[in-house]
Copies of this chain bind each other. A is one copy, B any other.
Amino acid sequence: MAAAAPPPPPTAAPITLPEPTPSGHTLFTRIRLATIDDVPHIHKLIHQMAVFERLTHLFEATTASLAATLFPPNAPPPFTSFTIFLLELSSSPFPPSQNPHFTPVLKSLHLDLPIDDPEKEDFRSNANDAINDVTVGGFVLFFPNYSSFLAKPGFYIEDIFVRECYRKKGLGKRLLSAVAAQAAKMGYGRVEWVVLDWNVNAIKFYEQMGAQILPEWRICRLTGEALQAHAHVSL
């Protein structure tokens, strides 16, 4: 058995450390105000949310009805009525952009492995960007509410949704935090939303974000024929 070759003598040459493990993948994220051009993507996202919540029997939205109600002609300014922040992702840094109502929030996301997005083509962003691989990954829909005890507006979040392949990476938190930051910036008193009581993961997530879960309140809803029954009674 041959002896192992002796180790090379130490040298004064700088030790070449391995490069820091390449992060594998950096994704850049942007949160911006949605426009009417984003309605096709918003429609698909809302439908995915209905599937996730097993509520497709309640899903009636069309691209036309969403456009007409979310982006009507002479729409009021963002934040004074129904407002959507869109979450986008790109492998290239987003160029800085300006919006008179909201400066997009740009961040990045370091991943060990790249994300395989099976719907990348379907969700190619319609934003007019210099970079062309921008993908829509989620959204948050919110609007003003009001606390009469505080005599202050707040925001109510109707929907918050991140597509499946982008979940568990803190992106839902970025969307919710963007709404909270906007509320704080406007001097608003509260941000509120609802959660299903069996969705313990969501409840835990929201509590970690600093939210209180109010155990005693129940939602009352008047809809359909029961709503129409009031039409001729009072007016």
Name A's B-contacting residues (CB within 8 A): 31, 46, 49-50, 55, 58-62, 65-66, 68-70, 76, 80-82, 103, 105, 141, 143-154, 156, 158-159, 174, 177-178, 180-185, 189-198, 203, 206, 209-223, 226-235
Chain B residue with the shortest CB-CB distance to A60? B150
Contact (Cβ within 8 A) A190 B151: no
A59-B149 contact given A177-B234, A184-B231, CB 8 Å threshold = yes
A220-B227 contact given A147-B158, A150-B61, A158-B146, CB 8 Å threshold = no
Of B158, B218, B230, the residue contacting A145 (CB under 8 A) is: B158
Please, which residues of chain B bring their CB within 8 A of the CB of A203? 218, 220
Counted per complex, copies of this chain come to: 2
Contact (Cβ within 8 A) B66 A227: no
CA distance A229 to B233 in the complex (A): 47
Chain B residue with the shortest CB-CB distance to A188? B227
Chain B residue with the shortest CB-CB distance to A56? B149
Of B103, B143, B220, the residue contacting A206 (CB under 8 A) is: B220
Please, which residues of chain B bring their CB within 8 A of the CB of A66? 148, 151
Contact (Cβ within 8 A) A180 B230: yes
Contact (Cβ within 8 A) B219 A214: yes
Contact (Cβ within 8 A) B190 A222: yes
Contact (Cβ within 8 A) A145 B151: no
Beyond A82-B153, A211-B221, 11 extra complex contacts between A and B, CB < 8 Å? A50-B149, A58-B150, A61-B150, A69-B152, A103-B235, A148-B159, A194-B217, A194-B220, A195-B217, A209-B226, A213-B218
Question: 6 closest pairs, A vs B, by CB?
Answer: A210-B226, A180-B230, A61-B151, A65-B151, A184-B231, A181-B234
